[in-house]
Amino acid sequence: MKRSISMALGVVSAVSLLLAGCGDDAGSPAAAPTGPVTLTLGGWTLASTPEFKALADGFHEANPNVTVELKEYDATNYDTQMIADLAAKKAPDLYIQKNLKPFYTYQSGKQLLDVSDVAKQLGDKVGGLSAYQVDGKTWAIPYRQDSWVLFYNRALFDKAGVEYPDGSWTWDDYAAASKRVTTGLKGAGSKAFGDYQHNWQSTVQGFALAQTPGAKLDSGDFGYLKPYYTRALDLQSAGAQQAYGTVTTNKLTYQSQFGKQQAAMMLMGTWYIATLLKQQSTGDAENFAWGMAPAPQLDASTTGTSKKPITFGDPTGLGINPAIDKQKITAAKAFLAYAAGEQGAKKLASIGVTPADTGSVTQDLFALKGMPTDELSKFTFSTHDTKPENPVSKHTAALQNILNDAHSAVLSGSKPVDSAISAAQDRAKNEVLKG
């Protein structure tokens, strides 16, 4: 899964951060330092990724004695460079956990400070905290938590004569609606598809892992993927979505497919909100009414607005370099508490970024120009049971690489579903899980 982050329109006023309490030897996460402190924070592509500067500036506004300086890394090679800097004792005081794939490497390599006290202070309002817990301790704090939802184009649904998603859909309902919309649009003279499925393995495997009871990535048993791939192949065959080969060969982008009204529906992470708002404001996307609905569910037990729909998405976290000067730990923990708390969440929402604490910023985000105003979109943004796409394990990265090969083999038609799954299971057993 990849993220595309753009600055959205709208400004949300930051509220002063109240820090209280007294420090101890490790530094209390709620204690503001009394003397001047300069922290360094590692990030990537600073010119086009505004969240790092927004958090650094916001924290400095609330704590004038603390300055957070940004250190830029290459986005593609971020983890490789960070691991090298940590080994060479040149890494910044604070650094981003970009996704969960390398978290095991950082944590098992003792490159993260225990921040369980910060986690305890934040409580259960912050999504994704459990992903960073190992052996009863918390090693990083999520400041953003994107979740996959269903974006839909109201105008295309109207043209097709099909009712909007209502939050009650299972996957069968979704597939049937995509076919109906496709038929309706063709009848109205439109070449748009019912849905667009991007070429990432996330679009199939993320949902299958999150929603299937008992499914475990590191079990080596990937049978849970079959119904999800069978459905995707059926939608391709029915002409309700672009074929995988077309998507990859023509290098289609999900932003243009939905933004240029080539598809009526698209499953994507909530990071796309900022992109769509920005592109509609600049003309890079067409202007049309859109909304969000929960991702389709395995069965009716988690559908409807009285339930919590199950979806997936890795958090993005902040960790503290254990080699940090001990005199800076108090400030570093206070920064983590700020970034993951309500005030940091408001800063992120003001630029269209989805924070880990979504509940406190729903009203702010939906006040931005271009956002939908319906209640289902608000429910979708704020209410979900988000499972990690990359459950923390020493095997995760290798297994995901194997499953990515299976993904392309199935959707390109080079292998039947059963054969591709069987081959992936054999590789997992012999290459990764052996011994």
Taking phi over 0 as left and psi of -120 to 50 as alpha, with beta for the rest, 195 belongs to beta
pLDDT over threshold 70, residue 292: yes
Q: What average pLDDT does the chain have?
A: 90
Give the Cα separation of 342 and 62 in Å (integer).
Answer: 13
Q: Write the DSSP string, 383-425.
A: --EEE-SS-S-TTHHHHHHHHHHHHHHHHHTSS-HHHHHHHHH
**Alpha-carbon dihedral of residues 405, 408, 409, 414, nearest 10 degrees?**
-150
Q: How many residues does the chain have?
A: 435
Give the Cα separation of 202 and 148 in Å (integer).
Answer: 10
Amino acid 435: pLDDT: 59
Instruction: Compute the 3-state secondary structure of the chain and give helix, strand, coil in percent, each to the nearest 5.
Output: 45, 15, 45
Q: How confident is the model at residue 19 (pLDDT cuts 50, 70, 90)?
A: very low
pLDDT over threshold 70, residue 28: no
Q: Write the DSSP string, 255-323.
A: HHHHHTTSBSEEEEETTHHHHHHHHHHHTSS----EEEEPPPBSSGGG-STTS--EEE--EEEEEE-TT
pLDDT over threshold 70, residue 17: no
Amino acid 24: pLDDT: 35
**Alpha-carbon dihedral of residues 258, 264, 269, 274, nearest 10 degrees?**
50
The pLDDT tens digits for 194-224 are 999 999 999 999 999 999 999 999 999 999 9
Contacts for 24 with CB less than 8 Å, ≥ 6 apart: none
Give the Cα separation of 360 and 356 in Å (integer).
Answer: 10
**Position with higher pLDDT, 69 vs 46:** 69
Identify whether the C-beta of residue 147 lies closer than 8 Å to the C-beta of residue 270.
yes
pLDDT average, residue stretch 236-243: 97
CA angle, 196 as apex, 359 and 414 as ends, to 5°? 125
Amino acid 33: pLDDT: 63
pLDDT average, residue stretch 404-420: 98
Give the Cα separation of 240 and 25 in Å (integer).
Answer: 60
User: Where do the domains of the chain lie, and which CATH numbers do they carry?
Assistant: 37-147+313-360 (3.40.190.10), 148-311 (3.40.190.10)
